[in-house]
């Protein structure tokens, strides 16, 4: 399925409306389920659904992150696409079924600290200068954003490894896809840093905690709840990272005190 679609529009040029066409980001209904009974419905971009399902299972605590990743089985129903996960070495507790909009990865959740995960622990944090360089290079890989201007991006990298970047209409869904893509690539070392093309709220930081990632950087702001959750778990966060005066939260190695 094509992640973008061309549709007719009108453009205003020198006071006159002119017929034209433009590229729009596609948005579909996706239902994720597991053999353990997990279920969630999401509005998402239609590409990389295998990576999305596997990444969501890890970042939301469906899968404990030990052993091999679950297998994704595609299907469809009356409202959209389905992906069923089976074969994981261990499953986490089953929550209530939810419907997640692109803008609300934590809809219906209490803002309590999630149990920390371990799959992505062990990576060494990188310097802010390297983070800025990698954030700026993200745009080279954001094909959907260049075409539509209507999607987010999330990327993972280790200190000396290439970016693993994915795009989606949802911030949280882009993160899940990047996580799943990293696992599918069979990387030998864990990622050190998550890069976000926008802001970082509690919902994204909760995923970071469940993943065990040590470091996050975002082009936009972090929320107060995201900052508090990061401090509680010793996560290093860089907000407004491409500005000349970025903000820092966490035990950065090149500053004297913990922010």
Domain assignments of the chain as residue spans, ordered by start = 28-100, 128-249
Query: Which residues of the chain have a pLDDT value below 50?
Result: 108, 255-259
Task: Report strand pairing: 98-100 vs 39-44.
Answer: parallel
Given this model, what pLDDT does residue 257 score?
Answer: 45
Given this model, what pLDDT does residue 258 score?
Answer: 47
Given this model, what pLDDT does residue 110 score?
Answer: 58
Active site residue 218: no
pTM for the model stands at: 0.91
**Cα–Cα distance measured from residue 191 to residue 55, given in angstroms and rounded to the nearest whole number:** 14
Task: Report strand pairing: 236-239 vs 39-44.
Answer: unpaired
Given this model, what pLDDT does residue 157 score?
Answer: 94
Structure-token pair, residue 109: 């959740």
CB 19 within 8 A of CB 7: no
Neighbours of 185 (CB within 10 A): 13
Given this model, what pLDDT does residue 125 score?
Answer: 81
CATH superfamily, domain 128-249, is Cytidine Deaminase, domain 2 (3.40.140.10)
pLDDT digit string (tens) for 34-56?
999 999 999 999 999 999 999 99
Given this model, what pLDDT does residue 1 score?
Answer: 75
CB 3 within 8 A of CB 45: yes
Given this model, what pLDDT does residue 254 score?
Answer: 54
């Amino acid at each position: 399925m094509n992640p973008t679609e061309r549709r007719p529009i009108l453009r205003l040029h020198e006071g006159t409306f002119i017929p034209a066409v433009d590229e729009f980001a596609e948005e579909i209904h996706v239902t994720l389920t597991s053999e353990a009974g997990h279920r969630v419905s999401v509005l998402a971009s239609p590409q990389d659904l295998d990576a999305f399902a596997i990444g969501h299972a890890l970042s939301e605590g469906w899968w404990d992150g030990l052993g091999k990743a679950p297998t994704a089985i595609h299907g469809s129903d009356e409202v959209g696409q389905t992906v069923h996960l089976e074969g994981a070495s261990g499953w986490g507790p089953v929550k209530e079924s939810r419907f997640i909009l692109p803008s609300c990865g934590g809809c219906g959740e209490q803002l309590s600290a999630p149990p920390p995960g371990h799959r992505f622990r062990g990576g060494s944090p990188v310097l802010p200068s390297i983070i800025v360089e990698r954030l700026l290079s993200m745009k080279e890989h954001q094909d959907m954003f260049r075409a539509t201007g209507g999607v987010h991006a999330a990327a993972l990298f280790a200190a000396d490894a290439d970016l693993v970047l994915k795009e989606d209409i949802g911030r949280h869904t882009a993160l899940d896809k990047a996580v799943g893509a990293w696992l599918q690539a069979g990387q030998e070392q864990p990622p050190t840093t998550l890069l976000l093309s926008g802001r970082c709220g509690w919902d994204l930081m909760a995923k970071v905690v469940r993943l065990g990632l040590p470091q996050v950087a975002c082009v936009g702001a972090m929320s107060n709840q995201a900052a508090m959750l990061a401090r509680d778990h010793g996560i290093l966060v860089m907000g407004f990272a491409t500005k000349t005066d970025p903000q820092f939260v966490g035990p950065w190695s090149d500053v004297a005190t913990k922010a």
